[in-house]
């Protein structure tokens, strides 16, 4: 059997021993430098993948933002919840950068509707309708761009009693 001396107590121990049987201390040095380099490479790769958006879908599943009950939710809450969302027309997709001046359009026990000015990809002056509703014991959240002229016509039709 091949033997070696313990680096701590100098007793003869087996060459393959990882712990000295006399002083109970480790006989081999750990590779801290190699471990640190490996950890650094792992962090660097993870950061690069995150910057390229590989984790976006995964992280969105576990989004920490949440809305409370409809009674407690404000238009500002809906506005903050919507920022970072995506709008699509079927061919193109845009990110919502900001929403300004959200105002409550309507509120019932089961629904909150707010409208705010949408800021996305350099475009402003477009309104976004944000709707929080409760159906079947679950909360549903929806947002969409609204045509201001269409809303005016709908209001006029309601006032005139035209459906």
Query: For 110-125, what is each residue's pLDDT tens digit?
Result: 999 999 998 876 666 7
Do 77 and 144 share a domain, yes or no? Answer: yes
Could you give the dihedral angle defined by the CA atoms of residues 28, 33, 36 and 37, in that order, rounded to the nearest 10 degrees?
-130
Do 91 and 117 share a domain, yes or no? Answer: yes
Do 38 and 14 share a domain, yes or no? Answer: yes
Cα–chain-centroid distance for residue 155?
37
pLDDT of residue 56: 61
Q: Is residue 56 situated within a structural domain?
A: no
Cβ count within 10 A of residue 11: 12
Sequence-distant (≥ 6) Cβ neighbours of residue 50 within 8 angstroms:
none
pLDDT of residue 106: 93
Tokens of 36: 């640190």
- DSSP states of 50-107: HHTTTTHHHHHHT-------TTT--HHHHHHHHTT-EEE-SS-EEE--EEEEEEEEEE
CB neighbour class for 58 (10 Å; exposed up to 12, middle 13-18, buried from 19): exposed
Tokens 């027309």 map to which residue? 89
Q: Is residue 58 situated within a structural domain?
A: no
Three-state DSSP at 137 gives coil
Domain that holds residue 108: 67-160
pTM confidence score: 0.50
Do 141 and 85 share a domain, yes or no? Answer: yes
Number of domains in the chain: 2
pLDDT of residue 45: 92
For residue range 88-100, list pLDDT tens digits in order. 777 777 788 888 8
14-45 per-residue burial string, b: 16 or more CB within 10 A, e: under 16: eeeeeebeeeeeebeeeeeeeeeeeeeeeeee
Do 131 and 105 share a domain, yes or no? Answer: yes
Low-confidence stretches of the chain (pLDDT beneath 50): 59-64
Q: Is residue 59 situated within a structural domain?
A: no
Sequence-distant (≥ 6) Cβ neighbours of residue 138 within 8 angstroms:
none
pLDDT of residue 153: 56
Q: Is residue 43 situated within a structural domain?
A: yes
């Amino acid at each position: 059997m091949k033997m070696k001396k313990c680096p701590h107590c100098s007793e003869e121990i087996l060459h393959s021993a990882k712990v000295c049987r006399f002083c109970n201390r480790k006989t081999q040095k750990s590779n801290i430098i190699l471990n640190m380099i490996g950890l650094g490479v792992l962090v660097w790769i993870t950061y690069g993948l995150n910057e390229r958006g590989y984790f976006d879908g995964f992280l969105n599943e576990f989004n920490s933002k949440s809305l409370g009950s409809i009674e407690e939710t404000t238009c500002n809450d809906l506005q903050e919840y919507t920022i970072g969302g995506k709008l699509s027309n079927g061919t193109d997709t845009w990110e919502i950068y900001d929403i300004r001046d959200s105002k409550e359009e309507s509120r019932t026990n089961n629904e909150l509707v707010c409208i705010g000015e949408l800021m996305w990809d350099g475009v402003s002056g477009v309104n976004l309708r944000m709707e929080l509703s409760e159906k079947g014991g679950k909360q549903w959240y929806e947002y969409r761009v609204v045509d201001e002229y269409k809303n005016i016509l709908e209001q006029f039709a309601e006032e005139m009693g035209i459906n």
